[in-house]
Every structure is written in C-alpha cells, then in structure tokens.
Amino acid sequence: MMQLPVIPLLCLAIFGVFQADSYCEVKGNNFAPEGKPSQISLYHVNGNASNAIDGNRNGLYRGKSCVLTKSEESAWWRVDFRKSRKVGAVLVVNREDACCWKRLKGAEIRVGNDPHNRNPVCGTISDPQPGAATTLCCGGMVGRYVSVVIPGREEILNFCELEVYPEGIEKPCI
C-alpha cells in the first residue's frame, strides 16, 4: 500500500489550498471591510454584495453571509477602495451548500484600477471545494478594485467571504 506524505496533506487541510507544493501566508489586517462592495446583479435579498466583507465566514447561504448573483455572462463581484491599495493576498471562502459550491470553478481574482473588471489576474480558483477558504498570493499588486469574476460563461456567482491583506508570502508545503 502506498503511503501519502503527511506534511503536504496537513498543509492542504490547514490552509484550504488545493496544491500540495505551496500556500500563501497572509500578514497584516484584512482591509476588505474598508471598501464599498457591488455585484453585477442580485438574485435574492439575502445574497447582497456587502455579505462578502461582513467578517462572517459562514459557508451556508441560509446564514445570510454569502453573495448571490443572477445567472449572468461573466458574473462579477467587486470591492472599491476609492484609492489604489497594495494587495498581497486575497482569501475567498466558498459556499458549502451541496447544491452550489462548484459554481466558483474558474473564478478569477483581479486587482487593478479598471472599474469594468478588466484588471490583471491575481489568481484563479481552479479546484473549489465546499466551504473551503482559498488564499491566493497577489505579489503586491496595486489597485483600487479587487474583483471576483467568472469569465466566459453564464453562471451564478456566489461565495461567502472575501478578505484582502496587504502582504502575502508564498510558502512551501514540505
């Protein structure tokens, strides 16, 4: 029987990152709540844009802490900081309800100054898992906006928390 290495699996379990070779360690305070959130549309009153920066990582929609758009082509959510900020890392908490967690597959985290979400990509959520907190290192990207965009397909966008940190350091999972 083949044995799997313990440390990378611990790294996966602790950090919610779905690659066995590294994770992003955040430093500083989450400044997402300082921004003004918006989204392309609103599917239901309990899924408003401000839920994503309310400090509540509850992954269940009925917990009233998730965003939920209508099914849209290239659905998006964004936070506007009203001035450029250095972004070291972004953490996104996926919805954990059985019906809906796969919707976040392919979502891009973008950082920049374009209000139309055509900003550079910090990272992509390629392997979403129910209720997982995925942290992406952005390497000190600078921008007024941090967006979650599902490019190129019609989809409902929903996730339950977004945190933005001034520093993110890529660390190996040994």
Of 2.60.120.310, 1.20.1250.20, 3.40.50.720, 2.60.120.260, the CATH number of 6-172 is 2.60.120.260
Task: Report the alpha-carbon distance of residue 3 to residue 42 in Å, rounded.
Answer: 47
| Better pLDDT: 63 or 113 | 113
Please choose, from the candidates 59, 76, 50, 79, the residue with its C-alpha nearest in 3D space to the C-alpha of residue 143. 79
**pLDDT tens digits for range 71-122:** 999 999 999 999 999 999 999 999 999 889 999 999 999 999 999 999 999 9
* DSSP assignment of 21-79: SEEEEEES---GGGSEEEES--SSGGG-GGGGGSS-----GGGT----PPSEET-EEEE
Residue 57 pLDDT greater than 60, yes or no: yes
pTM value surpassing 0.85: yes
- pLDDT tens-digit series, residues 1-13: 444 333 334 454 4
What H or E segment, with its residue span, contains residue 90? strand 76-93
Q: Where are the domains of the chain?
A: 6-172
CA distance 133 to 12: 11
Condensed to tens digits (0 to 9), the pLDDT of residues 2-49 reads 443 333 344 544 444 444 456 899 999 999 999 999 999 999 888 999
Tokens of 34: 């300082």
Residue 170 to residues 17, 32, 108, 142, 173, Cα–Cα distance (Å): 12, 20, 18, 18, 10
Return d(Cα 81, Cα 134) in angstroms, integer: 22
Residue located via tokens 């190129």: 152
93, β-bridge pairs: 133, 161
